[in-house]
A and B are shown apart, each in its own frame.
Chain A
Amino acid sequence: DVKVTQSSRYLVKRTGEKVFLECVQDMDHENMFWYRQDPGLGLRLIYFSYDVKMKEKGDIPEGYSVSREKKERFSLILESASTNQTSMYLCASRKTGGYAGELFFGEGSRLTVL
């Protein structure tokens, strides 16, 4: 069974802390995504990676960075967490670029910043 795993399901951090959200997929997918989900706003793309060490900014990249050193792993980094980054973060992957194939999602990481 295909799987996207987000290692931290629930995190509580303090303002100013550095936060790492990890995502691993076992499907050998080239493309990986980080979305933020907030009630009434749907899913908003933070960053996209089309291959190892390759990334594109999404719609809301401010305050976030990403790292993709290996094909299966895509990390989201909050350099200095703020309360307005309290949210649900969803990682997703898909097989290849060039067409809008289906996304496979992880179970999400719910981050609370105090």
Chain B
Amino acid sequence: AQSVTQPDIHITVSEGASLELRCNYSYGATPYLFWYVQSPGQGLQLLLKYFSGDTLVQGIKGFEAEFKRSQSSFNLRKPSVHWSDAAEYFCAVGAASGTYKYIFGTGTRLKVLA
């Protein structure tokens, strides 16, 4: 079955600390992978995406993610978290072609301590 798993529902880090949010997927076709961020009461904003090529992708706001095919993972990282990064983060996967279906994880809520 196709699925996206974000094993951490909540994560709390101190401002300035590094961050890693986990995402594992199960998908039969060649996946396109995305990370979105949602601030309270807002819609989702794309942080970064992976389609092909270099497995380490850079996104906005200083985020990066690494695609590891052997582990079916696409973890999101940031070396130094800012208080404004407090939000909910969603990993998503879509097929390389021929579909409108995206599978979203259930999200990880990030809290940043001052």
A40 to B106 alpha-carbon distance, docked (Å): 5
- A97–B106 CB distance below 8 A: no
In this complex, what residue of A is CB-closest to B106?
A42
- A99–B32 CB distance below 8 A: yes
Once A41-B106, A42-B104 are accepted as A-B contacts, the answer to whether A98 and B97 lie under 8 Å apart by CB is yes
- B100–A31 CB distance below 8 A: yes
CB within 8 Å of A: which B66-91 residues: 90
Q: B9, B99, B100 — which one has the most chain A CB atoms within 10 A of its CB?
A: B100
Q: How far, in Å, is B100 (CB) from chain A's closest CB?
A: 5
User: At the interface, yes or no: B113 with Cβ under 8 Å from chain A?
Assistant: no
- A100–B94 CB distance below 8 A: yes
User: At the interface, yes or no: A43 with Cβ under 8 Å from chain B?
Assistant: yes
> Which B residues are within 8 Å of any A CB, using their own CB?
4, 9, 32, 34, 36, 41-46, 49, 90, 92, 94-102, 104-107
In this complex, what residue of B is CB-closest to A94?
B100
Q: Fill in one digit per residue for A42-72: 1 if any B CB lies within 8 Å of its CB, else 0.
A: 1101001010000010000000000000000
Q: A102 is contacted by which of B34, B43, B98, B101 (Cβ under 8 Å)?
A: B34
Q: Apart from A43-B102, A100-B102, A101-B32, list 9 A-B contacts with CB within 8 A.
A: A42-B106, A43-B92, A56-B100, A97-B100, A98-B97, A99-B97, A103-B44, A104-B46, A108-B43
- A107–B102 CB distance below 8 A: no
- A48–B97 CB distance below 8 A: no
In the A-B complex, the 10 residue pairs with the closest CB atoms: A100-B94, A105-B43, A42-B104, A43-B104, A100-B32, A105-B44, A42-B106, A107-B43, A48-B100, A99-B97
